[in-house]
Amino acid sequence: GNSVTQMEGPVTLSEEAFLTINCTYTATGYPSLFWYVQYPGEGLQLLLKATKADDKGSNKGFEATYRKETTSFHLEKGSVQVSDSAVYFCALSDRDSGTYKYIFGTGTRLKVLA
Amino acid sequence: NAGVTQTPKFRILKIGQSMTLQCTQDMNHNYMYWYRQDPGMGLKLIYYSVGAGITDKGEVPNGYNVSRSTTEDFPLRLELAAPSQTSVYFCASSTRDPPRKNIQYFGAGTRLSVL
């Protein structure tokens, strides 16, 4: 079955450091891939997405590239800020199912220190 | 700009009690979902719906029921609450129409404790 594996956290960085959060997936067919962010006490919100191989999603300085050959969708940011402290979830959606269900990774908590 | 609204935000139940978690969306989305979020476990799909009158089980449906009588509302029913149902519950919705096709929009969550 489909699955998503994320690197375990927490990840603690100093402000302006480079961020990478690894995400790999297993899927039949051609899934869409997503990164969602959850700030304390809130629901998840979409950060970026990619719908086909070699697509790059980007938003708020974050980027991730859909790599079919390595089944990966790693999240990167060149210079993190304290306000980026949150939990980040990688997810996939099997477009062929017709239900648009997601499978989520376990989440990676990021803490950025001033 | 309400989006997905969940009520209540917090609830404490005693073992064996029942309750309904409410979810409503004002975006006219076809698809709606209920998840539970346990610490360190990510989100697990409980039930989902592809339209009014149509519901189906997700990964962890035991102990829960849902209904979808309207496009807007998707309540989640807990019967005979158990401590294992202590969790944070999220409702989400999505559409099959571009440009927001397949993007899920989440409510703020309901934090439930069963004691």
- Per-residue pLDDT tens over the stretch B52-77: 999 999 999 999 999 999 999 999 99
Reported as a pLDDT band with limits 50, 70 and 90, residue B41 is confident
CA A4/CA A23 separation, integer angstroms: 7
State residue B93's pLDDT score: 96
Residues of chain A with pLDDT under 70: 96-97
Reported as a pLDDT band with limits 50, 70 and 90, residue B12 is very high
CA dihedral in degrees (B100, B103, B109, B115; nearest 10)? Answer: 150
Q: Which of B1, B38, B43, B88 to mutate to test the interface with A (most CBs of A within 10 A)?
A: B43
Share of chain B above pLDDT 70, in %: 99
Provide, as residue numbers in chain A, all residues whose Cβ is less than 8 Å from the Cβ of B90: 43-44
Q: Which of A5, A39, A47, A102 to mutate to test the interface with B (most CBs of B within 10 A)?
A: A102
pLDDT (mean) for B13-30: 96
Q: Which of A3, A35, A101 to mutate to test the interface with B (most CBs of B within 10 A)?
A: A101
Judged by CB atoms closer than 8 Å, whether chains meet at A107 and B42 is answered as yes
Provide, as residue numbers in chain A, all residues whose Cβ is less than 8 Å from the Cβ of B42: 89, 104-107
CA B65/CA B4 separation, integer angstroms: 19
- Per-residue pLDDT tens over the stretch A82-111: 999 999 999 999 876 677 889 999 999 999
Identify which of A45, A100, A104 has the shortest CB distance to residue B102. Answer: A100
Provide the H-helix boundaries in chain A.
Answer: none
CA B31/CA A30 separation, integer angstroms: 20
State residue A30's pLDDT score: 84
Q: Is A41 on the interface with B (CB under 8 A)?
A: yes
Q: Are B48 and B36 in contact (CB under 8 A)?
A: no
Q: Is A98 on the interface with B (CB under 8 A)?
A: yes
Provide, as residue numbers in chain B, all residues whose Cβ is less than 8 Å from the Cβ of A95: 102
Cβ-count burial of A80 within 10 angstroms (0-12 exposed, 13-18 middle, 19+ buried)? buried
State residue B76's pLDDT score: 98
Q: How far apart are the first and last CA of chain A?
A: 41
Q: Is A52 on the interface with B (CB under 8 A)?
A: no
Residue A109: closest CA among A19, A18, A46: A19
State residue A97's pLDDT score: 66
**All residues at 6 or more sequence positions from B62 whose CB lies less than 8 Å from its CB, including other chains:** none
